[in-house]
Chain A
Amino acid sequence: MSEPRTYFETVEGCKTCIMRGGAGAPLLFMHGANGAGRWLPFMAELAKNFDVIVPEHPGYGRSDTPAWLDTVGDLANFYLSFMKQLGLEKVTLVGTSMGGWIASEIAVRDPSRIGKLVLVAPAGLRVKGVPVSDIFLWTAEQTTRNLFHSTELAERMLAMPLSDAEVDIAVKNRVTTARLAWSPRLYSADLEKWIHRIDLPTLILWGKQDALIPSVYADKFHELIKNSSVRVFDNCGHLPHAEKSPEFVAAVRQFAGEA
């Protein structure tokens, strides 16, 4: 298993924490609302084929919270500078949940450094009459239970107590998520207007039993991104990369390996 290195890079005045491991074409991973504290098994697997780059977004985890951070659009512009500064090209851009929203906004603005796009149960759009769940009313325990379809997996996660430092980071992540996505909740009217401009090959992945963003949202993304395909995992909640890790890795490898 490849060992990642963790380092800081200052981009747009923001000291940004990066976990990076493996070799090959760049794969830039955009984490979701709960952050990216640890190098997870799917990252290690993907690092066998890719140079896997996992930044913690400004306002999350060990990264600074810059004064300019108000919207998901701010993060999208930040990552355009980030890819330029790191000299990344032909990037496979993978985003999950909030990270999928950020990835979509990046691709709408400037796809020139991106080769392919993978959206994993992304936030950012709205299907009227099918609201996303209100994550801000969930307790930490309810969040864990609701994000996983497998109760056994949820129990295993809940059995691991958080250190004070991890509690602090969880609070910080939640505050930044509120700042970016409270109103309207997890949705951008501008993204809905302009997401059709994305013409990158795009893979949309979803868990069939997603209790946060229902899987019908996959159809909406598919409908608006013309060069997209959808894969729905059965017996899977909001985090296919964690809950269906081998299937997720295989799907990304296959998609990114295509011409």
Chain B
Amino acid sequence: MQFFLFHLMPYADLDLSAPDKYDSAWVTLPNTYYDPKKGHQLYNRYLDELEMGDTLGFDGLCVNEHHSNAYGMMPQPGVLAGSLARRTKNVKIAVLGRALPLINNPITVAEEFAILDNITGGRFIAGFVRGIGAEYFSWNVNPAFSHERFHEAHDLIVQAWTRPGPFAFEGKHYNFNYVNLWPRPYQTPHPPIWIPSQGSTETIEWAAHSDRRYTYLQTFSPVTALAKYMAQYRESAEKQGWQASPENLGWAVPCYVAETDEIAMREARPHAEAFYQKFLRMPTEMLLPPGYLSLKSMQGVMRAKAQMQSGDKSLEAVMKSGMFLCGSAKTVREQIVRYQQEIGFGKILTMLQFATLPHDLAVKNMEIFARDVMGEIRKMDAAPALAAVK
């Protein structure tokens, strides 16, 4: 199993009454709640935490893109990835990902990712997403064209990376007379492509297509959903005539490890609950603007809305559903190994700082996780291979 350290870079100093007052931590939460002096501290602190991931032996570091919110302060993730590219030596660096439909010129992403791939000498992993619904309000991009723009931007970027330029690109949303990328990516034919998603049939089938075989990442979902979507990916691959391996599947999950189960829960509680109850807060209309989901999926959501409960977001509830891993190293290790055996993912992307979790606890979490969870699982992974050699 491969271990990645994922960071959202939240605005940890957020006045936690604000998302309730504005019914959202996104789009309409006034940026007067943001203090640049605290922001200066936070960005540097978070980059330190990610850089620690390199020395602690993680396989990769992950950043991502979100706009106009307190949940994740990386609207331009290439800036953060660029900083990490020079300060790290061994780890992979993944941008998971750029929200392609938001961008009016996808060539900027092809360029940005190619530069990162060149600087790191091929330590770069490219992620493509559609962004979450709220971002279609913030960037005023039409959600009804989200799928069209995602696919077209993807095609343009991959062609820019792989086709000798200059060539013309003739699309509906994007048109170029001269696509001619300088620099070309370092890796051949291009950096690995990962597709993070909350799980949609369209996305899974697209990622599992035999022409693409992109790594599929399930983000922040209950374990039942994780199992369902990963099975769907494997079935989809099989129908296309290829066998998906654990390498193709990853799970992104927030996690807190401490000396005992009790300490872990006590230390994580306020921060985990702030994550689910405050930083992720937004109305359904903001989360799912019209056209963001397929018509059929959206009709299903709206029909079910009457029966939908507000959803219990207590620490106990998110732990029970597997949306949050929390406990002693032994507890968390056993949980990951069991899920891994049942579900068959080959990559785990743990978010070890979340919401308001302070630096000292984030560092303690990272150190215990690296040594007693990641380290121990790696030994277990190596054991069968060693046995086979002997």
A binding-site residues for B, Cβ under 8 Å: 134, 136-139, 164, 167-168, 170-172, 174-179, 182-185
Contact partners of A174 in chain B: CB under 8 A: 290
Give per-residue flags for B288-306: 1 if the beta carbon is below 8 A from chain A beta carbons, else 0: 0111000100110011000
A65 to chain B, nearest CB (A): 8
Output the nearest chain B residue to A185 by Cβ-Cβ distance: B140
Contacts of A185 on B, CB cut-off 8 Å? 140
Q: Which has the most chain B C-beta neighbours within 10 Å: A138, A178, A184?
A: A178
Among candidates A134, A139, A171, residue contacting B290 with C-beta atoms closer than 8 Å: A171
For B272-313 the 0/1 string (1 means CB < 8 A from A) is: 000000000001111001110001001100110000000000
B140 closest partner in A (C-beta): A183
> B137 within 8 Å of A by Cβ?
yes
Chain A residue nearest to B23 (CB atoms) is A137
Contact B137 A136 (CB under 8 A): yes
26 contacts between A and B (CB under 8 A): A136-B285, A136-B290, A137-B283, A137-B285, A137-B286, A139-B283, A139-B285, A164-B303, A167-B299, A168-B299, A168-B303, A170-B302, A171-B290, A171-B295, A172-B295, A172-B299, A174-B290, A175-B290, A175-B298, A176-B144, A178-B289, A178-B290, A182-B142, A182-B144, A184-B140, A185-B140
Contact partner of B291 among A134, A139, A178, CB < 8 A?
A178
Dominant SS at the B interface?
helix
The listed residue (B142, B285, B303) touching A183 by CB distance below 8 A is: B142
Question: Is the Cβ of A137 less than 8 Å from the Cβ of B137?
Answer: yes
Contacts of B383 in A (CB 8 A): none
Min CB distance A150 to B, Å, is 24
Q: Is A177's CB under 8 angstroms from B290's CB?
A: yes
Among B143, B283, B284, B299, the residue within 8 A (CB) of A178 is: B143
Residue positions of B touching A, CB distance < 8 A: 136-137, 140-145, 283-286, 289-291, 295, 298-299, 302-303
CB-based contact B283/A175 at 8 Å: no
B256 to chain A, nearest CB (A): 34
Chain B CB within 10 Å — which of A139, A171, A172 has the most?
A: A171
Chain A: minimal CB distance from B250 (Å) = 31
**Docked-complex contact A179 and B144, CB < 8 angstroms:** yes
Contacts of A170 in B (CB 8 A): 302
Q: Which residues of B contact A176 (CB under 8 A)?
A: 144
Q: How far is the CA of A177 from the CA of B290 in the complex (A)?
A: 8
Give the shortest distance, in Å, between B303 (CB) and chain A (any CB).
5
User: Across the interface, which residues of B come within 8 angstroms of A137, CB to CB?
Assistant: 137, 283, 285-286
Q: A139: which B residues are within 8 A, CB to CB?
A: 283-285
Report B-chain residues with C-beta under 8 Å of the C-beta of A136. 137, 285, 289-290
**Residues of chain A contacted by B137 (CB below 8 angstroms):** 134, 136-137
A164 neighbours in B (Cβ, 8 Å): 303
- 7 residue pairs, one from A and one from B, having the closest CB atoms: A179-B144, A178-B290, A182-B142, A174-B290, A175-B290, A178-B144, A168-B299
Q: Which residue of B lies closest to A184 (CB)?
A: B140
Chain A residues with Cβ under 8 A from B142's Cβ? 178-179, 182-183
- Min distance, Cβ B288 to any Cβ of chain A, angstroms: 10
Contact A171 B298, CB 8 Å, known A179-B144, A183-B140? yes
